[in-house]
Structure 1
């Protein structure tokens, strides 16, 4: 309970589990291209999560995330994980769970059936606007 809540006699909001989305339904009705079909928007959260859909042949270009580890769960389709220069692509299929440690280079390419995956990572701090020195 926060100090402000105690001062005015309010009880803190209770945290309750709840269903957020149906990934099968979202991926079945997804349009073409690459899109974020769902994202975690709950206030006070400590995590960020996104459901991403890539149509056949689309890809996420090679990149590295310097600060965050990311978990990726393939929920539909197939594709390949690129793990940096010289590394053999690794097959991705429904049910594959990946750990992408911070600092590693990675890319994701959708296969013939397209690819949908859920990403989960620690929430990034919001932008801070301050005065110039």
Structure 2
């Protein structure tokens, strides 16, 4: 068994891109090492697709374009992106992405969000009025587990995965 401190090759990103369909949208690869301090995702947006404007309040994100082209959209400008473009997205900034005619494949890297901790279980208290609790499961991205920003988004603002419609 390899220890946490063992250096190893995680992925050949060019192969991940080459093996995926040009129409595929969402995560082509994810960092999944246990006990890691970082998260990383290789995301594909097909030609003309976009990730709507959103704001990440908690994390700085590094974005590296590995295939295709597109544009980073922020409140001030549209920044053209091509293979090798490396962008720092500071926490608190509003941004979106749009893929060019050949699509856009990019790697994002950021500090790992802490996992949800299970608190002590307590006995349920009886309720005077019964009713169904609100279910948020349909709002959670099946690709990365994020709760999307905005009203009724079609795609996850973190990983680009198509969101459930119900």
Place the TM-score, normalised by the shorter chain, in its bin.
0.7 to 0.9
Equivalent residue pairs, number: 120
1:26 to 2:16 alignment? yes
What's the C-alpha RMSD, in Å, of the aligned pairs?
Answer: 1.8
Q: 5+ residue gaps in structure 1?
A: 1-12
Match of 1:121 among 99, 104, 110: 110
1:100 — aligned with what?
Answer: 89
Q: CA deviation at 1:128?
A: 2.2
Is 1:68 matched with 2:66? no
In structure 2, what is the Cα distance between the partners aligned to 1:67 and 1:42?
22
Structure 1 residue 29: Cα displacement? 2.2
Residue number in structure 2 paired with 1:10: none
User: 2:35 aligned with 1:44, yes or no?
Assistant: yes
* Whole-Å separation in 1 of the counterparts to 2:48 and 2:74: 17
Q: 3-state DSSP class of the match of 1:56?
A: coil
Q: Which has the higher strand share?
A: 1
Q: Could you say which residue in structure 2 is the equivalent of 1:88?
A: 77
Q: Which residues of structure 2 form unaligned runs of 5+?
A: 123-166
TM-score after normalising by structure 2: 0.68
- Inter-CA distance 98–14: structure 2 relative to 1 (3 Å threshold): closer
> Which contiguous aligned blocks of 4+ residues in structure 1 show a shift greater than 4 angstroms?
none
Contact 2:47 2:101 in 1 (8 A): yes
Distance 1:36 1:14, change over 3 A: closer
Residue 8 of structure 1: aligned partner: none
Secondary structure at 1:44 match in 2: coil
Alignment TM-score, normalising by the size of structure 1: 0.84
Given that 1:74 and 1:96 are in contact with CA atoms closer than 8 Å, whether structure 2 keeps it comes out as: yes
